[in-house]
A = this chain, B = another copy of it.
Amino acid sequence: MTDTSATSAAAQAPSGVVDLLGLLAYAELVSFFRLSDAAGLAPDLAAKGELAGVAATEYRHYRMLHERLAAMGADPEAAMAPFVEPLDAWHGRTEPRTWLESLVKTYVGDGIAGDFYRTVAEHADAETAEAVRGAVSETERAEAVAVRVRTAVQEDPKLAGPLSLWARRLVGEALSQAQLVAAARPELAALVARGATGGDSGEGGSGGKGDLAAVSRLFAGLTEAHSARLEAMGLSG
């Protein structure tokens, strides 16, 4: 797997890119398994089948990221390892109790992943950028999920309050895990913050005093994108 001639590619990648690929790889793998928790909540067999389809797409993304990491000369499992605890903790604290909660969670989670894929596409080498573009476009297919939630909320407006609260909890728990990750991986935080704001400030701050500023830009970016996603589902922040 570890082709030593390719090690230079990982070394040449902007700081944080291997981290970000590892984070996304484990996020896709754990989402794949966690989606099955929602299988018991599915209203019927057809919905169960669709859910399995979403999970299978997540597995394809995991494979693609795993292959990219190996091609860059990185050890994919080592790249994923730092993110196991925070992502498992997020899932553990946000177990959906209803089918609609699981749809909202899928949409919110896929949305954050999409933001991160775009950051990879901007900052990684051309081959990696090309590989993740497919994942971005598939992640955007999640719009069908937003339409379902919006329709359910239109039919029963009483759902809007509890589901908005649920979405707020999802992103709150994500931010509290992100804070731990950002503190431990300053270069990753700086990279994601650059992606979130679209600029390239903080270039010199990675690993230094710029971390706190990078983290707050990161959070601002996540929160802004999250508000847009809530609106797409007919919910409010």
Contact = CB atoms under 8 A, between A and B. Distances in A.
Interface of A: 26, 29, 32-37, 39, 44-46, 48-49, 52-53, 55-56, 59-60, 62-63, 66, 77, 80-81, 84
Contact of A49 (B49, B56, B66, B81): B66
Contacts of A63: 53
A59 to B, nearest CB: 4
A35 B59 CA distance: 13
A77 B43 CA distance: 13
Nearest to A51: B33
Contacts of A59: 52-53, 55-56, 59
A34 B55 CA distance: 13
Contact of A77 (B35, B36, B45): B45
Nearest to A77: B45
Contacts of A53: 59, 63
Contacts of A35: 36
Nearest to A59: B56
Given A36-B36, A44-B77, A77-B44, A29 B56 contact: no
User: What 10 pairs across the A-B complex have the smallest Cβ distances?
Assistant: A36-B36, A33-B36, A56-B59, A33-B39, A45-B77, A52-B59, A32-B52, A56-B56, A46-B77, A45-B80
A47 to B, nearest CB: 10
A32 to B, nearest CB: 5
B33 A52 contact: yes
